[in-house]
Amino acid sequence: MGSSVKLRTGASIPAIGLGVFLAKSGKETYNAVLNSLKVGYRHIDTARMYGNETDVGKAIKASGLSRDQVFVTSKLYDVDWGYEAATSAINQSLNSLDTDYIDLMLMHHPGNRQGRKETWQALEAAHKKVLVSFLVACRNKQLRVHSTCCDHAGAGQPSVWVCRVSAKLLV
């Protein structure tokens, strides 16, 4: 599980991680994260919308690993778009995860243009306060990447573009 991908910023992101999208909050998420960390996973992918960030944070603390040994990804969904809503959602994620920073914060579904610029500006502000690491990104569930996602906001550009590829597409 030690392989990683080096980003253009010079930072590395673990190549394999545990996603807790379908994990139920409580013991299911806690045990999945804790056991994954015990066997060598170092990247946990969660989101406030999943309702299990608190369990992720507790498991990371219980693992005995220092925070800088675990790469944490979370997401802003379009319901949290706009400067104030995004800022609030980032702070809620930080509180739920019981951490000082999130390594990678994704803008989920950036194809929705309403509030995109303000959301990106909130991510930039969080980055400047080191609440979100220098790794900020946009995510698009389709195979095409929206190159206009953040080009009209501030100076910052995404460090990562994430496209989900479903096995169903390969059949």
Q: Which helix (H) or strand (E) holds 27?
A: helix 27-38
Q: Which helix (H) or strand (E) holds 72?
A: strand 71-76
Residue linked to tokens 């999943």: 50
Q: How far is 147 from 118, CA to CA, in rounded Å?
A: 17
In tens, the pLDDT along 44-68 reads: 999 999 999 999 999 999 999 999 9
Contact 70, 102 (CB under 8 A): no
Which residues are catalytic, by number? 50
In tens, the pLDDT along 111-137 reads: 666 788 888 888 888 888 877 775 555
Q: Is the pLDDT of residue 99 over 80?
A: yes
In tens, the pLDDT along 131-141 reads: 777 555 554 44
- Residue 138 neighbours by CB under 8 Å, 6+ apart: 106, 107, 110, 146, 149, 150, 158, 161, 162
Per-residue pLDDT band at 38 (split at 50, 70, 90): very high
- If one compares 103 and 11, the residue with the highest pLDDT of the two is 103
